């Protein structure tokens, strides 16, 4: 698996860990000094705060499905900037319904051979968001 696929795998793992409520799995995807900016969804810095944030959601996240797509990855050694679309579907009714759409802008780094999220910024509106450096 090349580095681009490893980064895409990291983004997919984030979605699965979010939606299954698996806090340990979710927090393990971040660097120790992670900074997560979610706008109306809050913010946190560091893994300890990430743990509290995810646990605070309880089972609420289990009714949703996060989908990350169209990731543009600008790789520079052991660091990459990533812009991706995100859609969140509410699975609690008879039919899945789009609950949220936006853009993730991430900084990911490779530490000890593993890609981790160092910064994640969630933007609710994709207009005006750069799809990378190209």
- The pLDDT, as a whole number, for residue 122 is 95
Confidence of residue 126 (pLDDT cuts 50, 70, 90): low
- Name the strands in the sheet holding 64-76, side by side, starting at the edge strand that comes first in the sequence: 43-45, 30-37, 114-123, 97-111, 79-90, 64-76
- The pLDDT, as a whole number, for residue 111 is 98
pLDDT at 134 > cutoff 50: no
Pairing label, strands 43-45, 64-76: unpaired
Structural domains of the chain, with CATH: 3-123 (3.10.450.50)
If DSSP states are collapsed to H, E and C, what string results for the chain?
A: CCHHHHHHHHHHHHHHHHHHCCHHHHHCCEEEEEEEECHHHCEEECHHHHHHHHHHCHHHHHHEEEEEEEEEEEEECCEEEEEEEEEEEECCCCCCEEEEEEEEEEEEEEECCEEEEEEEEEECCCCCCCCCCC
Q: How far apart are CA 116 and CA 9, in angstroms?
A: 11
Q: How far apart are CA 65 and CA 16, in angstroms?
A: 8
What is the average per-residue pLDDT within 111-133?
80
pLDDT at 130 > cutoff 80: no
pLDDT at 60 > cutoff 80: no
Confidence of residue 133 (pLDDT cuts 50, 70, 90): very low
């Amino acid at each position: 698996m090349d580095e681009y696929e490893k980064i895409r795998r990291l983004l997919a793992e984030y979605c699965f860990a979010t939606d299954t409520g698996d806090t340990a799995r979710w927090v393990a995807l971040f660097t120790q000094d992670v900074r997560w900016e979610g706008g109306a969804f809050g913010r946190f810095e560091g893994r300890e705060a990430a743990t509290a944030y995810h646990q605070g959601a309880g089972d609420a996240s289990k009714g949703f499905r996060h989908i990350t797509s169209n990731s543009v990855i600008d790789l520079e050694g052991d660091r990459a900037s990533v812009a991706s679309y995100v859609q969140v579907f509410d699975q609690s009714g008879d039919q899945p319904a789009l609950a949220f759409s936006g853009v993730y802008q991430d900084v990911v780094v490779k530490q000890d051979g593993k890609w981790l999220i160092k910064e994640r910024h969630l933007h609710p509106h994709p207009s005006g968001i750069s799809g990378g450096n190209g």
